[in-house]
Copies of this chain bind each other. A is one copy, B any other.
């Protein structure tokens, strides 16, 4: 039986940190928008991938307008988001119709994800149950110690976590049966809570998350560089 590859793309931004009225995932990027570019990368990896797109309810009609405007026709299932990223992911998981497979959860505002990293993520998850994309910190790090002081830590012990974070479907469903807790900053942290082993794979520094206007300019420069390579 063929293994289902599923992409759960989560886009919850409102635009407030971008200083625009348009949410960052809808800003123009390359031939269409940030979010469409993200989705295209997964479709390019595997054109029979099942795509679930989680969007705030208030943005769904605007998304449909954009799809008409840009003649964007990659097949996907729209899912209404929740009040937090955790709840949006859970809504996405609840909407998945497949019974088995592997789910790559990915930020809608990381449009520069490489096809190779998507492939590595699914391959590693099929081998070991999950795969979380990470890079090593380039700068020194400090951590709060006692009395509001900070101390240096060895950056070689740390990883900067990106997406996709790819999980076997049933294990993912099981992990997300828990109540939301404040220290769930990503999907891997939900698995930690269940004492499940997380497998890191090496990502690329250009897989940036677009959260500020300067990130968008960086992403455009990085895209140009990807195309020249």
How many angstroms from the CA of A217 to the CA of B221 in the assembled complex? Answer: 7
Tell me how many residues of A have a C-beta within 8 Å of chain B.
44
**Which B residue's beta carbon lies closest to that of A228?**
B217
How many angstroms from the CA of A214 to the CA of B114 in the assembled complex? Answer: 15
How many angstroms from the CA of A188 to the CA of B152 in the assembled complex? Answer: 8
How many angstroms from the CA of A186 to the CA of B155 in the assembled complex? Answer: 11
Q: Point out the residues of chain B lying under 8 angstroms from A159, CB to CB.
A: 141-143, 150
Q: Taking the complex as formed, is A43 at the interface, i.e. its CB lies under 8 A from any CB of chain B?
A: no
Give the distance to chain B from A186, nearest Cβ to Cβ, in Å: 4
**Which single member of B155, B200, B217, B225 contacts A142 (CB below 8 Å)?**
B200
Given A157-B143, A157-B144, A189-B152, A218 and B222 contact (CB-CB distance below 8 Å): yes
Q: Taking the complex as formed, is A63 at the interface, i.e. its CB lies under 8 A from any CB of chain B?
A: no
A209 touches B138 (CB 8 A): yes
**Which B residue's beta carbon lies closest to that of A151?**
B192
Chain A residues close to B by CB (< 8 Å): 132, 134, 137-144, 149-152, 154-155, 157-162, 183, 185-186, 188-189, 192, 197-198, 200, 205-206, 209, 211-212, 214, 217-218, 220-222, 224-225
| Interface contacts beyond A137-B160, A214-B222: sample of 13 additional A-B pairs, CB < 8 Å, sorted by A | A139-B160, A139-B162, A140-B186, A141-B161, A142-B159, A150-B159, A152-B161, A152-B186, A154-B185, A206-B214, A214-B225, A217-B222, A218-B221
Query: Can you identify 17 A-B contacts, CB atoms within 8 angstroms?
Result: A141-B158, A141-B159, A142-B198, A142-B200, A143-B157, A149-B197, A151-B192, A152-B188, A155-B185, A214-B222, A214-B225, A217-B221, A217-B222, A217-B225, A218-B218, A218-B221, A220-B221
